[in-house]
């Protein structure tokens, strides 16, 4: 019996109870025998041809439907008693989303109303409201430096307050944003970001939120970590407990190579969903006494998403960005695991039994 069901998509906890399925052919035999007995009794009546004519073909078919439905119900109940299991995909109870958000000076551009940064903040808070309550969210902010500004939490108010406190800085460190997000997901590994960036002077984001690239959340000293490069690679996109959502409106100007950071994410199986924000025409922005034209590097963002088995989304308005976040919510982190589905079998068995009873009463004015 164990070998018989070994390759089924459904397995059973109490496999030995499946011997009860032998009752099914016995019930079929008993039903056929009962029909033959009734047929022999019917030949005693002289008006049997009239009864057959009154019933017709439809009547002969109908009388078998309620018993067949009841037989299916009993079969499903036997399967339910054996406690079936199946591999199902559910939202992971340990799910974490790291939102890596661009806070570079170009985010003050107004080609997206009221501005890119305000639109991205509103959309991010909308995403937080839509997320399942058991999914933790952490926030990484990156400009010239990248750092964790909110440890993964279920508290929506804390997340929104962190987003409201964003302050724009010079530079765009996309690679660093990915690596800090990975550092948050794997705190016992060391994701080297290279030397400190000259843009991160006193009073910069590192001074306000903690150490560069770590924030206050990691809680592990560098001497306790293993080099991330030394970890054996897993298939891209295979890590089921966390994803990264990377939002940026420009091109990298500093920090580690984003392509290398993407390869590191792929090596760890973490999917990176990239969002290119802003109009495709770009905009000229004044920041720190300088003017710059912001241009989106879509090829880079597509490459990051492709390497990690994530997805790239272009967005040129707050409404589009909210829709993207909604789509990502629909693709929320999934966990595949063996789950008992006894309740499903029992519910379907009840529906078949109910249908058998109702049809028998409606057609023959009796309960089967």
How confident is the model at residue 48, as a pLDDT?
Answer: 54
pLDDT, averaged per 10 consecutive residues of the chain (368 residues), comes to: 52 87 87 75 55 54 85 92 81 78 88 87 90 88 94 94 93 94 92 61 39 37 58 86 90 91 95 85 58 74 95 87 78 68 92 90 74
| Main-chain phi, psi angles of 354, to 5 degrees | -65, -45
pLDDT value of residue 42: 57
Question: At 307, phi and psi to the nearest 5?
Answer: -60, -35
pLDDT of residue 197: 53
In the prediction, which pLDDT does 196 show? 54
Write down the pLDDT at residue 362. Answer: 85
Confidence (pLDDT) at 91: 60
Q: Indicate where the chain has its CATH 3.40.50.410 domain(s).
A: 93-332
Q: Does residue 262 contact residue 297 with C-beta atoms inside 8 Å?
A: no
- pLDDT at residue 58, rounded to an integer: 54
Sequence-distant (≥ 6) Cβ neighbours of residue 239 within 8 angstroms: 185, 268, 269, 270, 271
pLDDT at position 35 is 74
pLDDT of residue 257: 93
> At a CB cut-off of 8 Å and minimum separation 6, what does 327 contact?
313
C-alpha 221, offset from chain centre:
32
Q: Is the pTM of this model over 0.75?
A: no
Query: Domain 93-332, CATH 3.30.830.10 — does that match?
Result: no
Query: How many beta carbons lie within 10 A of that of residue 164, not counting itself?
Result: 9
Quick check: 256 and 288 in contact, CB under 8 A? Answer: no
- pLDDT tens per residue across span 80-129: 999 998 877 666 556 799 999 999 988 888 878 888 899 999 999 998 98
């Amino acid at each position: 019996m164990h070998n018989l069901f070994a390759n089924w998509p459904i397995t059973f906890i109490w496999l030995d109870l499946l011997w009860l399925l032998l009752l099914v052919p016995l019930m079929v035999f008993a039903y056929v025998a009962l029909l033959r007995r009734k047929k022999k009794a019917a030949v005693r009546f002289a008006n049997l041809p009239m009864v057959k004519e009154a019933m017709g073909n439809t009547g002969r078919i109908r009388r078998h439907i309620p018993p067949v439905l009841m037989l299916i119900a009993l079969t499903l109940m036997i399967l339910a008693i054996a406690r079936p299991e199946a591999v199902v995909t559910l939202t992971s109870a340990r799910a974490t989303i790291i939102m890596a958000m661009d806070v570079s000076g170009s985010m003050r551009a107004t080609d997206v109303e009221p501005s890119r940064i305000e639109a991205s903040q509103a959309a991010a808070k909308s995403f937080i409201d839509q997320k399942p309550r058991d999914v933790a969210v952490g926030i990484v902010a990156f400009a010239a430096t990248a750092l964790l500004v909110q440890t993964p939490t279920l508290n929506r108010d804390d997340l929104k307050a962190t987003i409201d406190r964003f302050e724009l800085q010079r530079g765009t460190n996309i690679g660093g944003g990915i690596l800090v997000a990975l550092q948050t997901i794997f705190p016992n590994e060391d994701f080297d970001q290279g030397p400190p960036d000259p843009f991160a002077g006193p009073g910069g984001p590192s001074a306000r939120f903690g150490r560069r690239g770590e924030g206050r959340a990691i809680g592990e000293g560098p001497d306790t970590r293993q080099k991330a490069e030394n970890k054996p690679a897993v298939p891209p996109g295979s890590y089921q407990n966390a994803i990264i959502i990377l939002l940026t409106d420009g091109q990298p100007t500093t920090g580690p190579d984003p392509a290398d950071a993407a390869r590191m994410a792929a090596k760890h199986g973490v999917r990176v969903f990239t969002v290119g924000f802003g109009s495709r025409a770009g905009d000229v922005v004044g920041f720190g006494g300088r003017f710059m034209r912001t241009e989106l590097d879509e090829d880079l963002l597509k490459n990051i998403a492709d390497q990690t088995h994530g997805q790239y989304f272009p967005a040129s308005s707050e409404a589009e960005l909210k829709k993207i976040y909604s789509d990502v919510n629909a693709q929320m982190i999934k966990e595949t695991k063996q789950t008992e589905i006894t309740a499903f079998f029992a519910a379907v068995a009840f529906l078949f039994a109910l249908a058998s009873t109702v049809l028998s009463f409606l057609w023959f004015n009796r309960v089967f």
